[in-house]
Structure 1
Amino acid sequence: MVALFGTDGIRGIAGKPPLDRDTVYRVGYCLTEYLRNLAPSPHILIGRDTRESGPWLEVVLRRAIQEAGGLPELCGVISTPAISFLTPKTGAHAGIMISASHNPYRDNGIKVFASTGMKFNDDVEEDLERRIASSSLTAPPESAATGAALLASVPEYCRLYSSFLRQCVSPGCSLEGVRLVVDCAHGALSAIAPEFFRALGAEVRALHCEPDGHNINRKAGALHVERLQQEVLDFKAYLGIAFDGDADRAMFVDSRGVRRDGDDVLYLLGRFSDFQGGPRVVVGTVMANLGLEVALESLGIRLVRTSVGDRYVLEEMLRLGAMVGGEQSGHVILLRLARTGDGLLTALKVIEVLRQQKAGMEDLWGAMRRFPQVLRDVPVRSKVPFDEIPGLRETEAFYKEKLGPRSRILMRYSGTERLARIMVEGEDRGAVTEAAARLAAHFDSLRP
């Protein structure tokens, strides 16, 4: 049986397996069948981002849910964290988000949330995979959904989500006179985030908020902050905020034009959190910089690491009772308020801390000294086990010894793309860079 679910749902090129019409139809049908064990006519929300394939995937899923005896409800263009929030808020039995997050427009994906607003656990996903693999259902003919439907949204759901976010802001925290540059990556928050911040009193310069179905994440948003950095300087902004296509993550640019990632946010929120008698723990992943661990330790806060993926971060947060957790990539979970990474919520809480401390981002992050860290992504045709790649383990062992005890080497395959990801970290930048290059070279024979 081929695994469908990766670290963040099902993902691939829209129109090709596993996102061809028949497989998508089976996903919707089998999910509904599974949920009928809980309710005779399960209520399932469906949201999507701004990719051109979103409308037809929405049509196929809606038809499948209906024919399996469920009640689909369309939320239109909306963010992933909004679907996570709305699913329990509306009493739905599940929520589906059609998105490939930070990937290019040709890709798309299906993320599934349980009635709690959390992603399904591995056992449920494996059950769904078995059901889908054994199904021979085919999607009925459908007319293509195009045109005006591409950017359709449901105002009531946007209002519910915006109202929730406003309630998360501490009384007395004003954005009056605050200059922000907000980059929406031509994605799900394009019509929401700039107006949301303006309604709170901020002066906003909106960036990359004109989705056309093809431009989502294209040289924009959380993975491409170069233009945002320049706009922050030109606008003399207090802060720059960059979301990805489905807005479950956020990156920041301080007033000096310096990029700030999820590690910076975890340090800031950990440093100024009221743990309210709970464990002084922040949950990160194996990708978190050693500098974050050292800086938190100096504050009496322990960093606990998990595998990459916000679902694993959330599971560990729930196990430990931790209130703050997230990933270097910008997914941050604030457990008192949400059950998934939420870029807009993260931005609000970052601004709240900065305003309360009467300081800029550049001032409050000065205590965290990053270790040199090099990340290399190598495209691969197939994910060959590392032990079967000639010389790779020997090179890894050599550099672990050379870099010394205050260093780390991490190699893994992406759970959502055909990429080998290599991370090397240590005290000597030259040696770190050399090690990353030598390790990456072992994957050259696997390149497409």
Structure 2
Amino acid sequence: MGKDKRRYFGTDGIRGKANAGVMTVETAVQIGRAVGSVFTSRHERPRVLIGKDTRRSGYLFEMALVSGACSVGAEPYVMGPLPTPGIAFLTKGMRADVGVVISASHNSFEDNGIKLFGPDGYKLPDEVELQIERFIDDQKAVDAAIKVGADIGRAYRIDDARGRYLTYLKTTFPNDLTLDGMKIALDCANGAAYRIAPTVLEELGAEVVTRGVSPNGLNINDGCGAMHPRKLAALVLQTGADLGIALDGDADRLIMVDEAGQQVDGDQILALTATRMKRDNQLAQNTLVVTVMSNYGLEMAMASQGISLVRTQVGDRYVVEAMRKGSYNLGGEQSGHIVHLDHSTTGDGTLAALRVLAIMQREQRPLSDLARVMQPAPQTLINVRVSAKPELSTMPDVTQAIADAESALAGKGRVLVRYSGTE
């Protein structure tokens, strides 16, 4: 079964309309059983950590996953609402066998998804996801895995999960610095970081003004968060904040706003962070890992700083794979996935914001000044809904249009046509 023939997993786990299609309660039960069974083959009673964001359907899938895991003898540990990177961190820190995230990230509340992390805190490799897919559709394997009596697994709730992750986040901020005197506007998208992000900033000394910190199960990413930075920009200007921080629903993305209300996207965050890390001799191999979606201006800016770029296909998992393979420690996407591999195994919006704040405090420079290291090239992104996804190379009109555009740009720009891996 190749990647293109998968029924459930996309580039970032399983995602779809909640309680329909592939994202039903029945599927979640089967995933719980599959996860428990795949890892039961290695350990008698595997630990399965389960966390979620704040959308209402999370309760459905949380209970379904717990039931499925228990039914095959696994022991699920339920953490409640927690950012995706926090679940990855705790999966490794608590020596669990697998971490399960219930989230559709930046999507609206109607959608939900499931993504998985291995015991090392990294997203599961393709071969393990394929093993889980095969189990889901193999009723004989499911029947053989079912436990009864004392062999049924027991579920636990972790009450201090948020505190453990919050404490770790603070350790990534330099001990000789504080955020005293800094006023920060923060938008948590009514998502998983609605308690953690304000707390960590306040405990480091900042004055924090917030929006998007009142989740009701239906308002996640609704006119707030990293997908709607204009609302944050208005708050920055209204309150006279030094900058704004916007996270998405599961807090693995970061978009910032400078003191003048101008957006600072993932490419710019990567540029200013890489520049400082190189100056401090902390940028591994003086290389930054980005995707094919990154702005051409980032390429020019990094070249001027003596920093090499490695490009991957779109998706933070591919960024991380390239980073691990090449022993690089900084990478990310224009959309705001920022990966600091020295501190985390996946994109972490709150951690990435803390790294930028440390640079601001260390250099005593505003965000607008730091972001000038990169001048974004003009870029247009057009989303087109399609009913099917044939190979682009099989459509002559499309390939000719791409060739014509590349010829017109004459090496001074780039054209990228791709299918979404999550929709």
| Counterpart Cα distance in 2 of 1:155 and 1:408 | 49
| Residues 26, 135 of structure 1: 8 Å contact kept | no
| Counterpart Cα distance in 2 of 1:179 and 1:171 | 20
Deviation, structure 1 residue 276: 4.5
TM-score, L = length of structure 2: 0.93
| Counterpart Cα distance in 1 of 2:323 and 2:396 | 38
Q: Which amino acid aligns with 1:415?
A: G
Structure 1 spans left out of the alignment, 5+ residues:
141-152, 418-448
- Seq. identity, %: 40
Match of 2:171 among 164, 167, 183: 167
Match of 2:329 among 323, 327, 330: 323
| Counterpart Cα distance in 1 of 2:210 and 2:284 | 39
| Counterpart Cα distance in 2 of 1:370 and 1:195 | 33
Deviation, structure 1 residue 154: 5.2
**Residue 46 (structure 1) aligned with residue 12 (structure 2):** no
Match of 1:236 among 240, 256, 267: 240
| Residues 48, 54 of structure 1: 8 Å contact kept | yes
Deviation, structure 1 residue 21: 1.8
SS of equivalent to 1:378: coil
**Residue 5 (structure 1) aligned with residue 9 (structure 2):** yes
| Residues 283, 329 of structure 2: 8 Å contact kept | no
Match of 1:187 in 2: 191
| Counterpart Cα distance in 2 of 1:390 and 1:290 | 27
Deviation, structure 1 residue 2: 4.0
| Residues 291, 332 of structure 2: 8 Å contact kept | yes
Match of 1:365 among 350, 366, 371: 371
Q: Which amino acid aligns with 1:194?
A: P
Match of 2:213 in 1: 209
**Residue 101 (structure 1) aligned with residue 86 (structure 2):** no
Deviation track 1:280-328 (CA, whole Å, cap 9, x = no partner) reads 1000001111111111111111011001111111111111111110111
Aligned 1:21-32 pairs, distance under 5 A: 21-32=25-36
SS of equivalent to 2:416: strand
| Counterpart Cα distance in 2 of 1:182 and 1:243 | 8
Q: Which amino acid aligns with 1:224?
A: H
Match of 1:304 in 2: 310
Deviation track 1:239-271 (CA, whole Å, cap 9, x = no partner) reads 100000000011000001000111011101100
SS of equivalent to 1:374: coil
Q: Compare 275-284 and 99-108 and name the one that shifted more.
A: 275-284
Match of 1:55 in 2: 59
SS of equivalent to 1:409: coil
Match of 2:382 among 373, 376, 385: 376
SS of equivalent to 2:417: strand
Aligned 1:332-343 pairs, distance under 5 A: 332-343=338-349
**Residue 393 (structure 1) aligned with residue 399 (structure 2):** yes
SS of equivalent to 1:413: coil
Deviation, structure 1 residue 385: 2.8
Deviation, structure 1 residue 209: 0.9
SS of equivalent to 2:174: coil
Residue-pair matches, total: 404
Q: Which amino acid aligns with 1:78?
A: L
Structure 2 spans left out of the alignment, 5+ residues:
147-156
Deviation, structure 1 residue 177: 1.5
Q: Compare 247-256 and 379-388 and name the one that shifted more.
A: 379-388
| Counterpart Cα distance in 2 of 1:314 and 1:195 | 28
Match of 2:153 in 1: none
Highest RCO, 1 vs 2 (Cα 8 Å, sep ≥ 6)? 2
**Residue 270 (structure 1) aligned with residue 274 (structure 2):** yes
| Residues 17, 23 of structure 1: 8 Å contact kept | no
Q: Which amino acid aligns with 1:396?
A: I
SS of equivalent to 1:29: helix
Deviation, structure 1 residue 279: 0.6
